């Protein structure tokens, strides 16, 4: 059995306690407008073009079908429908301007890679976090990996948006030591506008996980003018409180623009170009709002 992952990030400190290794899975069943990992949204491998690495040598232009790659002063302009051999550019480009994201990996190979950092997990109280995309989209592969890591005594966190059938994902939840649970909006209509799906099942799955007494960290992404309407933010705070003692931490994740370059590298439009990041004062106001709702929060995880 093989899985398809985007990358393995070592020495992460934002995806759960301690020093962690985060595995980013390909494929997601949400399409968040602000997604910082757009290469993981759709299944399958992706080719990214990094124009900052391009030296304008024209090697890719020569190798591509006619008119499918044009060389300009700002780098290459790629017609991804016409360029039927874009994958070949990863090897052809002498300056590594083309990068393939999405690698197939076997269960045992991934286990070996994750065990390499076990001394850091144990010394820091860390472990492995499965993220994405939506890791639960590759449920069978992930289940086999988690069973082996459980044997190895490695702490495991599952980062999920909760848009799945509970009974199918239950074996993963039972193996996980910590659930990092993303709630994008409380109002289902707003959630649909932001992600392309409603959230009734997402909220219900959060209640079920809390009922399992499974340790949870709730993560609330907030984007200026998109999903930070005061009443919806308050409803999310109240919902988190309703989950009770299972929630060990609530993280406010203010919008950032770190993923914008990835959209450019993938040749896809980014809808939120006009949106700016929160100021420190605005973040403080969000923290105060949570405090008034008797909810302790951290910023940034």
Output the tens digit of pLDDT for each of the chain's 301 residues: 999 999 999 999 989 999 999 999 999 999 999 999 999 998 899 999 999 999 999 999 999 999 999 999 999 999 999 999 999 999 999 999 999 999 999 999 999 999 999 999 999 999 999 999 999 999 999 999 999 999 999 999 999 999 999 999 999 999 999 999 999 999 999 999 999 999 999 999 999 999 999 999 999 999 999 999 999 999 999 999 999 999 999 999 999 998 999 999 999 999 999 999 999 999 999 999 999 999 999 998 7
The domain 46-99 having CATH identifier 3.30.70.20: the answer here is yes
Q: What is the pLDDT of residue 301?
A: 77
Give dist(CA 129, CA 25) in Å, integer: 11
Whose tokens are 């302009």? That residue is 77
Give dist(CA 149, CA 127) in Å, integer: 10
The pTM for the full model equals 0.93
Q: Which residues of 67-91 are buried (b: 16+ CB within 10 A; e: fewer)?
A: ebbeeeeebbebeeeebeebeebee
Q: Which residues pair with 103 in a beta bridge?
A: 5
Give dist(CA 110, CA 104) in Å, integer: 10
Q: Where in the chain is the domain with CATH 3.20.20.70?
A: 2-43+102-299
The closest alpha carbon to 238, from 200, 183, 164, belongs to 183
Q: Strands 156-160, 178-182: parallel, antiparallel or unpaired by DSSP?
A: parallel
Q: What CATH superfamily classification does 2-43+102-299 receive?
A: Aldolase class I (3.20.20.70)
Contact yes or no for 185/157 (Cβ under 8 A): no
Give dist(CA 245, CA 14) in Å, integer: 22
Whose tokens are 């994008």? That residue is 184
Distances (CA, A) of 167 to 145, 151, 175, 181, 285: 19, 23, 14, 17, 39
As to burial, measured by CB atoms within 10 angstroms (0-12 exposed, 13-18 middle, 19+ buried), residue 96 is: exposed
Q: What is the pLDDT of residue 55?
A: 96
Q: Strands 2-12, 103-106: parallel, antiparallel or unpaired by DSSP?
A: antiparallel
Q: Which residues pair with 105 in a beta bridge?
A: 3
Each residue of 43-60: pLDDT tens digit? 899 999 999 999 999 999
Q: 3-state secondary structure string, 235-300?
A: HHHHHHHHCHHHEEEEEEEECCCCCHHHHHHHCCCCCCCCCCCCCHHHHHHHHHHHHHCCCCCEEC
Q: What is the pLDDT of residue 27?
A: 96
Contact yes or no for 26/251 (Cβ under 8 A): no
- What tokens appear for 229 in the block? 């309407």
Q: Where in the chain is the domain with CATH 3.30.70.20?
A: 46-99
Backbone φ/ψ region at 220: left (φ over 0), alpha (ψ -120 to 50), beta:
beta
Contact yes or no for 216/247 (Cβ under 8 A): yes
Q: What is the pLDDT of residue 43?
A: 85
């Amino acid at each position: 059995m093989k899985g398809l992952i985007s990358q393995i990030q070592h020495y992460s400190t934002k995806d759960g306690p301690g020093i962690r290794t985060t595995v980013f899975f390909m494929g997601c069943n949400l399409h968040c407008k602000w997604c910082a990992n757009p290469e993981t949204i759709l299944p399958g491998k992706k080719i990214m073009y990094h124009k900052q690495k391009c030296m304008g040598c024209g090697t890719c232009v020569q190798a591509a079908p006619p008119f499918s790659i044009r060389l300009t002063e700002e780098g290459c302009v790629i017609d991804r429908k016409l360029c039927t051999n874009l994958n070949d550019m990863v090897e052809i480009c002498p300056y590594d301007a083309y990068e393939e994201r999405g690698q197939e990996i076997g269960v045992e190979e991934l286990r070996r890679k994750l065990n390499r950092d076990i001394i850091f997990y144990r010394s820091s109280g860390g472990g492995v976090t499965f993220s994405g995309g939506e890791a639960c989209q590759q449920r069978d592969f992930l289940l086999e990996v988690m069973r082996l890591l459980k044997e190895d005594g490695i702490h495991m966190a599952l980062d999920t948006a909760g848009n799945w059938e509970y009974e199918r994902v239950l074996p993963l939840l039972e193996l996980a030591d910590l659930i990092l649970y993303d709630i994008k909006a409380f109002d289902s209509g707003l959630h649909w506008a932001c992600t392309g799906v409603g959230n009734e099942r997402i909220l219900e799955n959060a209640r079920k996980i809390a009922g399992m007494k499974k340790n949870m960290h709730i993560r609330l992404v907030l984007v200026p003018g998109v999903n930070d309407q005061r009443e919806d933010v308050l409803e999310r705070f109240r919902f988190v409180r309703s989950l009770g003692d299972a929630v060990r931490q609530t993280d406010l994740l203010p919008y950032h623009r770190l993923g914008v370059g990835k959209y450019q590298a993938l040749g896809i439009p980014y809808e939120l170009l006009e949106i700016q990041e929160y100021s420190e004062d605005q973040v403080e106001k969000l923290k105060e709002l949570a405090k008034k709702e008797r909810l302790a929060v951290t910023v940034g995880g």
